[in-house]
Structure 1
Amino acid sequence: MTLSFEDLQVGQRWESTGRTLTDADLTIACMTSGDWHPIHADAEFSKNSVAKQRIFQGTYGLHVAMALATRFPELGDKVIGALGLSEWRFSAPLFVGDTVHVEVEIASKRLTSRAGRGLVERRITLKKSDGSVAQEGVATMMMHCGSAQP
């Protein structure tokens, strides 16, 4: 069900389904970022690292978190666009084989000075299957609201 700005309530929460990170994901992360540091790309090098295995680039976790959170809440064509991230923290490394999901909470909402627009802040938490937090932060978006919706 598509929600409007007016439907959203501070404190509302959603949880995504899980997604297991694969070796192909790590390869794609290296290819698209150009970051082939041995901690990401060299299994033998990584065996001697603190983590004892290859780890994903931190920004790949952010990429996955944003993708998983896209539907929470479902806002359809009311979204104007993303405005930024704040308070984003990398709390734990991500490894091939980790299954992750996101928890999304409406942290705040307010009208802008321009009629028909509102800002929504979502607290997004990327968690591993054991319940530990891998990453979290606040994503702000602008959306149509009130009678000025398209």
Structure 2
Amino acid sequence: MSENDRRLVAGWHGRYFEDFTVGDVYKHPFGRTVTETDNVWFTNVTMNCNPMHFNEAYAAETEFGERLVDGTFVIALAVGMSVIDISVNATANLGYDEVRHHAPVFHGDTIFAESEILNKRESESREHVGIVTTELRAFNQDGDLVLSLERTPMVLKRAFAEPSAAVPPGWPDGVGTQPDDVDSS
């Protein structure tokens, strides 16, 4: 391949406010298996002192018979999984409402997430963004609903983002391959 065969091609830049339609459901890519390390680390970092998350002997005597994954880790994981489809171009998260843990999560469970667009509206105070409300749902590998919540990010409008192959979301101008580095004809 010669230097003239190279092209700078835009990758995924995320959705902008205009891209959302009420009723659309996005099944987020990449399920993730929750490990014991995830649970112990997150429990310690957040100073959650409930022995249900870090004391095997204690947890063995409960109705579950084993340690549970910290529920706030499950929230963080599900929200993180949704970013690729919902909030790559968010300027702020305005709220998390109606949070419900429907079933426990255990070490070794694989979590999958999807988001449904419930509402969208123009921002009354910022012309460059709109407000999108979603229902985020997380399931385990058996299809059991383990978490649901409403999430409301403020999302950038495309006209104010000016996405390009050379400067995708999160990249500073001038870093990496630039249009002058490849054939632009």
CA shift for structure 1 position 146: 6.3
Contact 1:29 1:56 in 2 (8 A): no
Partner Cα distance (2:83, 2:158) in 1: 22
CA shift for structure 1 position 135: 0.7
Partner Cα distance (1:48, 1:94) in 2: 17
Cα deviation, 1:79-132, whole Å, max 9, x if unaligned, reads 211111111111111110111110111111000213232100111001111111
Q: For 1:38, what is the secondary structure of its paired residue? A: coil
Q: For 2:85, what is the secondary structure of its paired residue? A: coil
- The one-letter amino acid of 2:112's match is H
CA-based RMSD of the aligned residues comes to 1.6
Higher share in strand: 1
Larger radius of gyration: 2
Cα deviation, 1:6-34, whole Å, max 9, x if unaligned, reads 12111111112211110101111221111
Match of 1:35 in 2: 48
Partner Cα distance (2:98, 2:70) in 1: 18
Over 3 Å counting, the alpha-carbon distance change for 1:146 and 1:69 in structure 2 is closer
1:51 equivalenced with 2:81 (yes/no): no
CA shift for structure 1 position 45: 1.4
Q: 2:137 aligns with which of 102, 121, 125?
A: 125
Q: 1:137 aligns with which of 149, 169, 183?
A: 149
TM-score by length of 2: 0.74
Give the number of equivalent residue pairs.
147
1:8 equivalenced with 2:20 (yes/no): yes
Contact 1:101 1:127 in 2 (8 A): yes
- The one-letter amino acid of 1:135's match is L
The gaps in structure 2 that reach 5 residues or longer are 1-11, 162-185
- The one-letter amino acid of 2:105's match is L
Q: 1:103 aligns with which of 83, 108, 114?
A: 114
Partner Cα distance (1:44, 1:102) in 2: 31
The gaps in structure 1 that reach 5 residues or longer are none
CA shift for structure 1 position 53: 0.4
Partner Cα distance (1:36, 1:97) in 2: 22
Moved over 4 A (4+): none
Partner Cα distance (1:61, 1:49) in 2: 20
Identity of aligned residues (%): 25
